[in-house]
Structure 1
Amino acid sequence: MQEKRVELTPSAAARVREFMARDGGIGLRLSVHRTGCSGWAYDVGIAEAVEEGDHVFEAGGLKVLVDDRALPMVAGTTVDFVHEGLVREFRFRNPNVTGECGCGESFTVG
């Protein structure tokens, strides 16, 4: 059985390329950490290297790295980047989310 991928929209891929052009790196690292009233929040950063336990996906011509712990929570997620007025942020369409806090900063999974 093939594992569910993490995808990037064209705008997310373009934003990651901007960061990589400035800071280097091999791709996007998507992870999670415990926080907030719903339990989990996304961590997005530039990956410097493939680490033990990483799952590596190709999306938008880039590498997307997800560690073993985060993969069950983010498998199937599409990462988007939006620029609306003063707001510039990554947004996540995650089919695993069963609830979110009121401020949208954290989520729960089933």
Structure 2
Amino acid sequence: MFGLITRRYLSQESGKRLMQTIPMAANSPVAGWAKHGLAMPRKARTSRFKKDIEIPAPKPEFIKKQPTFNPEPKVVQEEQIMSKKPRRQLKPRKALITLSPNAVAHLQALLNQPVPQMIRIGVRNRGCSGLTYHLDYVEKPGKFDEVVEQDGVKVIIDSKALFSIVGSEMDWLDDKLSSRFIFRNPNSKGTCGCGESFMV
């Protein structure tokens, strides 16, 4: 004769309590927990995810090396580049006006007078071509005038006449008809028939 032993357990998947009957012989030894209808002791469960995963260490040849920074060679290279770079050569400044030996001699005579006088060169709108030279005797230059010194003598140039006479040569002409200062102006594009005026 077979007896029925009831065993209860809790299912993990469905969460429902189920009853299971197991046929056993009448004379078979029965455990203490089975006589009182107790549930079977559960075995300790181990999670399948508890197994440690070993991550292999990267090989030395695949490790990215950090770049090293040494500022001293860079500074030396920059200094070498700056030293090799050719310097820009500035063109010499064009003289405002040059004086011939005859002009220097006559200007020196003016400065040796009891009342020293200097010549101020300017231009005016007059004549056939538009501009004519204008000379004044002054004792000192104005606020915006340019002073040209050559061979110990000084000539004053009006600031308004700089563009018209820059690069010119001043000479002293002494002939039978007259004695006067003349100018050889490279900026002149034409003169009138009498030579009194010029055009730039």
Name the TM-score class by shorter chain: 0.7 to 0.9
- Residue 15 (1) aligns with residue 106 (2): yes
Measure, in 2, the Cα distance between the counterparts of 1:40 and 1:66. Answer: 15
Cα distance in structure 2, aligned partners of 1:103 and 1:54 = 29
Structure label with greater radius of gyration? 2
Aligned-residue identity in percent? 36
* Residue 81 (1) aligns with residue 172 (2): yes
Aligned pair count reads: 108
Deviation at 1:38, TM superposition (A): 0.6
Match of 2:116 in 1: 24
Q: Which runs of 5+ in 2 are unaligned?
A: 1-90
Q: Does 1:93 align with 2:184?
A: yes
Give the match's secondary structure for 2:140.
coil
Residues 1-110 of structure 1 mapped to structure 2, 5 A cutoff = 2-22=93-113, 23-25=115-117, 27-109=118-200
Provide the TM-score with structure 2 as the length reference: 0.50
User: Shift of residue 3 of structure 1?
Assistant: 4.8
What SS does the corresponding residue of 2:103 show, helix, strand or coil?
helix
Distance 1:61 1:46 in 2: 18
Of 72-81 and 10-19, the range deviating more from structure 2: 10-19
How many angstroms does 1:19 deviate by? 2.7
TM-score normalised by structure 1 residue count: 0.86
Whichever structure has more strand as a proportion of its residues is: 1
SS at match of 1:82: strand
Moved over 4 A (4+): none
CA distance in 2, matches of 1:19, 1:95: 27
Higher relative CO (Cα under 8 Å, sequence separation at least 6) belongs to 1
**Cα distance, 1:12 vs. partner?**
0.8
What is the root-mean-square deviation of aligned Cα atoms in Å?
1.7
Q: What one-letter code is carried by the residue in structure 2 that aligns with 1:24?
A: P
Question: How many angstroms does 1:66 deviate by?
Answer: 0.9
The residue type paired with residue 100 of structure 1 is T
Letter in 1 for 2:199: T
SS at match of 2:196: coil
